[in-house]
Structure 1
Amino acid sequence: MNKRINKTKWVFALVWLIATSYAYAQTSEQRNDFAIKGFHLDLRIQVMKMPALKEFALRLSKNGINTLVMEWEGTYPFEKHAVIANKYAYSRAEVKSFITYCDSLKIDVIPLQQSFGHVEYILKNYRYKALREDQKDYSQVNPMKEALCKALFTDLYTDLISTHKSKYFHIGGDETYLLGKSPESKRKADSLGMGRLYGDYIKMLCELVVSLGKKPVVWADIALKYPDALKSLPKETIFIDWNYGWELDRFGDHEKLMKSGFEIWGSPALRSSPDNYFLTDWEKHFNNMKVFIPQGRALGYKGMIMTSWSTSGIYSPIAESHSDIMDLHAIRRVYPLSGFNLLVDAFFKALSSKQAIAPADFVANYAADKYGLSASEAKQFWNALKLAPYEVNQGKVSKQGFTVKQLRDSARYVLNAFRSFKVNKGQKEYAHYVLMANIRYNYLVCMEVESELNRQGFDKKQAGTLLKQLLELNVSEVNAEFARLNSHFLYDMEIAEEGRLRNFRYLDLLARLQKINNTP
């Protein structure tokens, strides 16, 4: 009898232990999961049509994303500051409809209003001339003009809050390159330090957000650089530690941020430097997700927001005269988000799995499932995607030992490989890879021609040969394919503008060589 009782007790104890362990594991998983699973949309350039925007939100919702950070920039129709809105601005009805739609999908839409740096689109308008930190570089407000800035951003914040329902409000605050540039800012920085110059202004913005009933969200890079700026901020402040594939201490002592007591979210990227129209570093973005998302989970970050930058946020002025800037053009433009479904789905996978994503395996499975590629083709596809993602600057390749000609040959190999695979499904999505490879190949031919034109011993008699190389490129075909693949995504005017800027070097070289070739 005693043996039977002891056996029964042992069985109950074992069951209790298993159940407790399972419950602990579940609770532990929940503790280590992200409450905020988000995506950031950058509308500074490449403004998505509203149907495409809603279609993307639906896709996010179906894949577990509960937060969307909207960097509306000039696409938001401010009422008191109508001059800020650009030619692609949505109507207020469209914005409200989009927020309502996201609400029905249980997606929280957080407005992002840059309020320190990256405000060229505001400061280029001379109505705001007095707020500029520098009268030639319009990228940043002067933190010493606190009263003027507070009045402006009170208006902008209040307007955005009137159309958004989120309890969070993102004020930006990253990459304040001009800190201490103006005489008054320099005096404060020299007297009290850069941390106080930055921190006092950010404190004012965060307190403004809190006074409006919201929680302020701030990019963490400058706070990492000047940790004394953290001391006086409202306890409600949330920092986003953006990391695109580097050590945690890149911007400063990461441990100080961790010990600050503020809630922290993480942020990788699927489009960032050195990406542009002619280069996408696919492997870098996969490795960024592979490393940083598990790292953020282990650090106890409460959220993970994927960024997707259409531009670096640095602009080149188009000037009417030495003192009057007509417009600003983004100096780095990236292929539209429409071509990056592979990386978007990889983010979904990385968020939903407790194991680090395995890039090669993910790409192989994706290529098989989405495009019907064979196992060997899927492997070749991944190898082609990550082949030689090097830049060309002033005629030199960023990878030592590589020539422009070798880089051009690698691009031609990739283009031919993408064209050779037997794609049985998802042809329209797959066509973006072919197009991107074609754009890169055409660009590298131009760079090779330009390099030869710059050669010290260049002979005008060679102009005809170089001209022939350019004329053999399928630029018109590429432009038509770009329009076909992105007509649902971008406005017609945008497609035309993207083509003009993407082909600027080609058209310039063409005209110059035609002139040289036809001149006796």
Structure 2
Amino acid sequence: MYFSRNRYRVISIRFFLYAVILFSSYLCVSFYLMSESMNFTSKIRVQNITAIKLPNVVVHLDLKGFPPKLSYLKALLPTLQELGVTGLLIEYEDMFPYEGRLVNLSTKYAYNKTELKDFLQTVIHFGFDVIPLVQTFGHMEHVLKNKEFAHLRELPTQSNVICPSKSESRLLIRHMLEQIIKFHQSILPLKYFHIGADEVYHINKCKQCLQRHETNATIYLKHVKETTDFVKEISPQTTVLLWDDMLRKISIKDWGHAKNLRAEPVYWRYNMKEKISHAALYQYHKNFDDIWIASAFKGADGMTATLPIVQDRLSNHLDWMLLIQNYKFGGEVDTHSFKGIILTGWSRYFHGAPPCELLPVAIPSLYLNLLLIKKFREGHDMTNSHDTIDFFHKNLKDDLTEWLRCGETVDLDDIETKACSFNGDDLYKVIFNSDMIISHITYNMELILKYYTDDEYRQHNIQMYNKYLTDMWFLESKMKKVLARYYYDNLRMIHSGRPRQRKMITERSTRRSLGEALNY
């Protein structure tokens, strides 16, 4: 009995020790795997990458609001070609020279047909595809703001969405598409055409739509199908593109209406916070021939932004490249090849919004992200990195410095202080320094209000504010002169709107005087 008890005790102790060892090993292994997992997600692993199959690299030219001179756009073409661009997505809005009943859709400053045709012939000469973009559902403010078409609104008080149930609406859209398609076909057959169809905020609201007794998704899909069918009717070989955000909202049961849509969706995503809908991508894969993606090199950093936040723009493009380089759909062995990427460059968030970043000041962002895409398409080896800034320094910094023709190495937040001579550098410097001056004035205005009861301090600030006013007049004159190099006289802009209060500006403003800013 005693022997049995001791033996039982020894076995129990051994079992306990084994359990402790196993549990400790489990904890160690779990901790190691968790650490590796966290390191994997925090690092950018792109060393020894396989070249991405991305046939189309398209740059978006948003002409609504402040269209550049066509001579300036022509000057950009050789560099864009070298950076791997294959096409231009041209969003005319009111800059296209419509005729006949549609003449009032054009601003009085619209390009004339002769100069536009000359520009498009130059674009074609460089081997680019020309992709016109015409909004055909939402974002139709430039059309529906006109009294003669106001009755076609989905909601009487909102000019952004056209009613798809009225025959006159469909006729209007057909006439718009017909004029633009035939104009471009007179130069060269259209390979692609973009019908917009994004952000249709008001569907199934008017009397005619409600009487159809159909779901929002059904009304949307039927209108888009009718539009794509018309494009195919007048240009059978043209591939139709549309923004995808409205498709993401469609339930599985409504996807039956999308099977014969005869279009290709462009999945747009401009920031890291917005999660990719893999379920939507899978539906696109099942229902469409090809899928495109879209990023933003400008126009995604705030409605009144003056300069792109280059780090955020780079993160956007890098995130896309990392996603698609080995993207596979469930049950498939091969990596999916996306049809192309569109680098969007919005000039306004909508027709009536204030202007955001101008094209010339976004050239550093555009070149940087084209360089990134070029490296992924060619399969260059790139160094592993922990974050976007580190990735930039290890893989793109020297290339960007060279392409911007800078005398000193550039940083993501320090382009304006370098001796660069890219096509738009003078306007970049003026805009940057105007932001800095406004930051000075805003800061000192806050001090004046805070210490308003101090007569001596108030008098000092009034004198300083008078100096700022003189500086602003001087800057206005300089800005007009620089803007004239890129924009027609009747479209010159004195930049207004609240600038972003960036830490970068505040810190640098403590090191540089206004005199230096005005005499850069």
TM exceeds 0.5? yes
| Partner Cα distance (1:55, 1:173) in 2 | 31
Counterpart position of 1:241: 267
Counterpart position of 1:308: 345
Amino acid corresponding to residue 439 of structure 2 in structure 1: L
Please, which runs of 5 or more residues in structure 1 have no aligned partner?
1-27, 316-329, 386-417, 505-520
Deviation of the 1:67 alpha carbon? 1.1
Deviation of the 1:446 alpha carbon? 4.8
Deviation of the 1:219 alpha carbon? 0.3
2:99 aligned with 1:75, yes or no?
A: no
Aligned with 1:486 (options 483, 486, 493): 483
User: Could you say which structure has the greater relative contact order, defined with CA pairs below 8 angstroms and 6 or more residues apart?
Assistant: 2
Spell out, residue by residue over 1:451-474, the C-alpha distance to the aligned partner (whole angstroms, 9 max, x if none): 67888x976978766655543332
Q: Aligned residue pairs: how many?
A: 417
Amino acid corresponding to residue 259 of structure 1 in structure 2: K
Task: Say if 1:266 and 1:296, in contact at 8 Å, map to a contact too.
Answer: no
| Partner Cα distance (2:278, 2:348) in 1 | 21
Deviation of the 1:366 alpha carbon? 2.4
Amino acid corresponding to residue 264 of structure 1 in structure 2: I
Task: Say if 1:290 and 1:359, in contact at 8 Å, map to a contact too.
Answer: no
| Partner Cα distance (1:297, 1:91) in 2 | 42
Task: Say if 1:66 and 1:108, in contact at 8 Å, map to a contact too.
Answer: yes
Query: How does 1:178-257 map onto structure 2 within 5 Å?
Result: 178-185=202-209, 191-212=213-234, 213=236, 214-227=238-251, 230-233=255-258, 234=260, 236-246=262-272, 247-249=274-276, 253-257=280-284
Relative distance call for 1:58 and 1:250 in structure 2 (3 A) is same
Matched position secondary structure for 1:116: coil
Counterpart position of 2:194: 170
Deviation of the 1:437 alpha carbon? 2.5
Spell out, residue by residue over 1:271-314, the C-alpha distance to the aligned partner (whole angstroms, 9 max, x if none): 12324344532110011111113424444211111110111115
2:392 aligned with 1:359, yes or no?
A: yes
| Partner Cα distance (2:116, 2:227) in 1 | 24
2:432 aligned with 1:437, yes or no?
A: yes
| Partner Cα distance (1:460, 1:176) in 2 | 54
Amino acid corresponding to residue 313 of structure 1 in structure 2: F
Q: How high is the sequence identity, in percent, across the aligned residues?
A: 19
Aligned with 2:55 (options 32, 35, 42): 35
Task: Say if 1:34 and 1:297, in contact at 8 Å, map to a contact too.
Answer: no
Task: Say if 1:71 and 1:113, in contact at 8 Å, map to a contact too.
Answer: yes
Matched position secondary structure for 2:321: helix
2:124 aligned with 1:97, yes or no?
A: no
Matched position secondary structure for 1:139: strand
| Partner Cα distance (1:186, 1:252) in 2 | 30
Query: How does 1:2-401 map onto structure 2 within 5 Å?
Result: 32-80=52-100, 81-145=102-166, 147-164=167-184, 165-185=189-209, 191-212=213-234, 213=236, 214-227=238-251, 230-233=255-258, 234=260, 236-246=262-272, 247-249=274-276, 253-275=280-302, 276-299=304-327, 300-313=337-350, 315=352, 330-331=353-354, 333-354=355-376, 358-361=391-394, 362-367=396-401, 370-374=404-408, 378=410, 381-384=411-414
Matched position secondary structure for 1:270: strand
Relative distance call for 1:52 and 1:431 in structure 2 (3 A) is closer
Relative distance call for 1:370 and 1:159 in structure 2 (3 A) is closer
Spell out, residue by residue over 1:49-97, the C-alpha distance to the aligned partner (whole angstroms, 9 max, x if none): 1211222233322332221111011110111211111022011112222
- Report the TM-score when normalising by structure 1: 0.72
Matched position secondary structure for 2:494: helix
Amino acid corresponding to residue 204 of structure 2 in structure 1: G
Matched position secondary structure for 1:154: helix
Spell out, residue by residue over 1:125-153, the C-alpha distance to the aligned partner (whole angstroms, 9 max, x if none): 111122111222211111222x2122111
Amino acid corresponding to residue 245 of structure 2 in structure 1: D
Relative distance call for 1:187 and 1:466 in structure 2 (3 A) is farther
Counterpart position of 1:21: none
Task: Say if 2:64 and 2:347, in contact at 8 Å, map to a contact too.
Answer: yes
Matched position secondary structure for 2:118: helix
Deviation of the 1:256 alpha carbon? 2.5
| Partner Cα distance (2:286, 2:323) in 1 | 16
Matched position secondary structure for 1:177: coil
Q: Which 10-residue stretch deviates more, 238-247 or 252-261? A: 252-261
| Partner Cα distance (2:348, 2:462) in 1 | 31
| Partner Cα distance (2:293, 2:136) in 1 | 20
| Partner Cα distance (1:308, 1:279) in 2 | 12
Relative distance call for 1:298 and 1:98 in structure 2 (3 A) is farther
Task: Say if 2:427 and 2:483, in contact at 8 Å, map to a contact too.
Answer: no
Deviation of the 1:350 alpha carbon? 2.0
| Partner Cα distance (2:363, 2:232) in 1 | 37
- Report the TM-score when normalising by structure 2: 0.72
Task: Say if 2:193 and 2:240, in contact at 8 Å, map to a contact too.
Answer: yes
Amino acid corresponding to residue 270 of structure 2 in structure 1: Y
Q: Larger radius of gyration, structure 1 or 2?
A: 2
Amino acid corresponding to residue 147 of structure 2 in structure 1: Y
| Partner Cα distance (1:337, 1:298) in 2 | 32
Task: Say if 1:274 and 1:280, in contact at 8 Å, map to a contact too.
Answer: yes
Task: Say if 2:430 and 2:479, in contact at 8 Å, map to a contact too.
Answer: yes
| Partner Cα distance (1:266, 1:85) in 2 | 30
Counterpart position of 2:30: none
Task: Say if 2:142 and 2:351, in contact at 8 Å, map to a contact too.
Answer: no
Deviation of the 1:373 alpha carbon? 4.3
Spell out, residue by residue over 1:158-201, the C-alpha distance to the aligned partner (whole angstroms, 9 max, x if none): 1111121312211100111222343444565xx43221122121
Task: Say if 2:141 and 2:161, in contact at 8 Å, map to a contact too.
Answer: yes
| Partner Cα distance (2:458, 2:392) in 1 | 45
Relative distance call for 1:94 and 1:140 in structure 2 (3 A) is same
Relative distance call for 1:469 and 1:266 in structure 2 (3 A) is farther
Amino acid corresponding to residue 482 of structure 1 in structure 2: M
**RMSD, aligned α-carbons:** 3.2
